[in-house]
């Protein structure tokens, strides 16, 4: 328990892996693939709310400051796309879902480099709206998740489709919209659980016409590390920049 003026300095103790299991098969037999109706045990959640997870974009605001300072529109669009990949790095060691916020719940994070505000604006479906402000830019967006359970190969995969765009407004007048990748948690029934990102994101500059696309290459039997590849294009479709690496780094 925390009294007035007291802040949590570390996350609560996490249970051992063998204490984190929850009956996936039992839930499916009762609810099918509609996981929005499932009340999972507390141990199936990480000790953060969805609003707090969204605030982790603040970890890489230096990239947005750099994007705002650039004079090249295509390069700025590429940097915004890279920023949109970087904050997923926080998920690399997580295999649990955050708590669903209450309707009307808010979260605020104020830092010397940025200000972040979020609110839960819908309960069914769960939708979180947020705003990020910093030097030379402002970002507005929302997060709506659509979940599905899959059983390809019999190991169990929890798939999360992230709906909604993030709109970045820069002081020079440029507006860049970015989509989101899908999230998958594998090996729910057997094997070692791991999280991966699939699909691609597209950053579209609505003023200059420049755009960038980054594709997530998921893990496979011959590629144990998740990688990303991407390109930046001008209005005419000329490929000017290339991006490669791993969102896990």
Q: Where are the alpha helices (DSSP H) in 41-199?
A: 50-54, 61-69, 73-86
Give the CATH number for residue 176: 2.40.160.120
Model-wide pTM > 0.85: no
Within-domain flag for 177: yes
Q: Which domain holds residue 124?
A: 45-245
Return phi, psi of residue 27, to 5°: -65, -40
Q: Which two tokens mark 45?
A: 């959640």
The candidate with the shortest Cα–Cα distance to 136, out of 63, 68, 74, is: 68
CA 23 vs. chain centroid, Å, equals 26
Within-domain flag for 229: yes
The total of structural domains in the chain comes to: 1
Within-domain flag for 232: yes
Match 């950053």 to its residue by tokens: 203
111 Cβ contact partners less than 8 Å away, ≥ 6 residues apart: 58, 61
Within-domain flag for 92: yes
Within-domain flag for 30: no
189 Cβ contact partners less than 8 Å away, ≥ 6 residues apart: 24, 25, 151, 154, 155, 156
State the CB neighbour count (10 A cutoff) for residue 116.
22
Within-domain flag for 215: yes
pLDDT (tens digit, 0 to 9) for every residue of the chain, 249 residues total?
Answer: 445 666 666 665 554 554 455 555 445 545 555 555 566 677 777 888 999 999 999 999 999 999 999 999 999 999 999 999 998 888 777 767 788 899 999 999 999 999 999 999 998 888 999 999 999 999 999 999 887 777 666 566 777 888 889 999 999 999 999 999 998 877 767 777 778 888 999 999 999 999 999 999 887 666 667 889 999 999 999 999 999 998 877
As a whole number of angstroms, the distance between CA 228 and CA 219 comes to: 11
């Amino acid at each position: 328990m925390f009294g007035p003026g007291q802040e949590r300095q570390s996350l609560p103790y996490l249970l051992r892996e063998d204490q984190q299991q929850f009956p996936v098969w039992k839930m499916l037999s009762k609810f099918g693939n509609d996981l929005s109706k499932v009340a999972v045990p507390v141990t199936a959640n990480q000790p953060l709310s969805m609003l707090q997870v969204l605030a982790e974009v603040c970890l890489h605001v230096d990239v947005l400051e750099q994007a705002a300072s650039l004079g090249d529109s295509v390069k700025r669009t590429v940097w915004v796309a890279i920023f949109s990949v970087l904050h997923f790095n926080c998920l690399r060691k997580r295999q649990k879902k955050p708590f669903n916020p209450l309707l009307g719940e808010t979260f605020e994070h104020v830092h010397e480099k940025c200000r972040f505000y979020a609110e839960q604006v819908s309960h069914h479906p769960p939708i979180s709206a947020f705003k990020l402000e910093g030097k030379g830019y402002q970002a507005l967006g929302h997060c709506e998740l659509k979940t599905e359970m899959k059983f390809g190969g019999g190991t169990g995969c929890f798939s999360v489709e992230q709906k909604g765009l993030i709109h970045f407004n820069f002081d020079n007048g440029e507006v860049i919209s970015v989509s989101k990748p899908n999230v998958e948690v594998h090996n729910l029934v057997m094997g070692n659980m791991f999280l991966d990102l699939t699909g691609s994101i597209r950053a579209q500059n609505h003023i200059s016409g420049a755009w960038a696309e980054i594709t997530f290459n998921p893990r496979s039997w011959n590629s144990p590390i998740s990688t990303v590849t991407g390109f930046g294009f001008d209005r005419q479709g000329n490929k000017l920049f290339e991006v490669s690496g791993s969102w896990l780094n």
